Amino acid sequence: MTITLLPISFPPSLDPTRFGQFGREVKDVHPGHLNGGQFEELEKALYTHDLLLFRNLDLTPEEQYKLVKKFDPNSEHYGHGNRSLDKATESIIHSYVKSLPFVPQVQIIGHGTVQNHEGIEEITLKHGRHPEFHKTSLSTEDEAGGFTRFFRWHMDAALYDLAPPKVTALYGLKVPRGPLQTVRYGDGSRDELPVPLGTTAFVSGKIMFDILSDTMKSLAVRATATYAPHPFQWIKNSKAFSTGLGLVSEGLEMPLDLLPSWEEEKIKKYPFVWKNTTTGHLHLQVHPCAIKEIDIQPLKYLKNAKRNALYPQGGKITDLKAIRDLIHEMQRPGIAPQLVYPHAWEEKDLVLFNNRGLMHSVVGVFREGQVRLFHQCNLAASSEVVGPNEADIEKWA
């Protein structure tokens, strides 16, 4: 039996002309019981559409882990290392995830107190809420009135030692109900976006690249990001912009010599642009919080000098404010309200997404007593990302 793919429903806020190939609902198969041919169809569909949705699905943690592993059979460990975040108390991610005892590749995330769950007697989960991480905050009155913010835009990756996962699986076990909330961007743009309570918001790296100016495309295909060692401990004292996209530069990063021991060869350097080897599309994939340096290749193709390219002789940027300003200029258009897909979770939803092609953020504020319970699985990849090839660079640089 072949799998059935149906378009997913988009909110009225989304620009459908940009999302024709984005997202499909998978029908008629259970992802834990796929034969070889069905999995090949599913894998192609995921990298073609970037996000797949299964509804009303019963899925064990073991099935979730085995499904994600199928996309990368040589992978084994959770994206940040099995149980590593449980011990990394100085990491900004530590308080939001916890490994399941019997399947440490699967994390429990959400909000509220949960009892007798998968070998855990009791746990109080913490949903990312913007006052914990942003430089500025909405007023208590605004939050009570239904306003919220994106928490932190990111792709799932340790960005030190371990390669970025290929696929993330999010499974919703308990989904609280409530009225729509409104994301207020708060950056002077007056942008706002209505979102379901407790949504996960997604943006496309492909769209983010496609809408860049020619000048910025030229820079993107020539640029490489160097990430800090133990980046999520490095930025533990830093604060984010009101959009959740990147950090305010205040010199609050932890000095490298105060970080846990690290090795130069484990520092990660990735191209700004990651290539989808199934479609050939280029995706702008830069973690705006963890980046520490930028290296830019010189222009090779003189015919493109008319594009008024930035850094035609190449260069290196080490000033954090300059780095963050540049990344924000490149990525901010891609999180405009009409380019954000806020998934309306239902209980027993499974969402698989291309972690090397999308960025996402948790969103929302819960009332006291509301419980959100999810299982998350992604695996540190057995191979590194693929950047633009020479033909891509010649085309865009």
Q: What is the pLDDT of residue 27?
A: 95
Query: What contacts 5, CB < 8 A, 6 or more positions away?
Result: 24, 25, 26, 27, 45, 49
Contact at 8 Å (CB) between 394 and 301? yes
Residue owning tokens 């820079």: 219
Q: What is the pLDDT of residue 216?
A: 97
Q: What is the pLDDT of residue 52?
A: 98
pLDDT band at 93 (very low <50, low <70, confident <90, very high): low
Q: What is the C-alpha separation between 40 and 17, in angstroms, rounded?
A: 28
Q: What is the pLDDT of residue 82?
A: 64
Q: Is the pLDDT of residue 2 over 90?
A: no
Q: Which helix (H) or strand (E) holds 321?
A: helix 320-331
Q: Is the pLDDT of residue 112 over 50?
A: yes
State residue 194 phi and psi, 5-degree precision.
-75, 135
pLDDT band at 207 (very low <50, low <70, confident <90, very high): very high
Average pLDDT estimate for 322-330: 98
Residues forming a β-bridge with 224: 271, 295
Residue owning tokens 């309200």: 337
- What is the number of other CB atoms lying within 10 angstroms of the CB of residue 35? 9
Token pair belonging to 108: 């429990």
Stretch among 80-84, 214-218, 316-320 having the lowest mean pLDDT? 80-84
- The reported pTM is 0.96
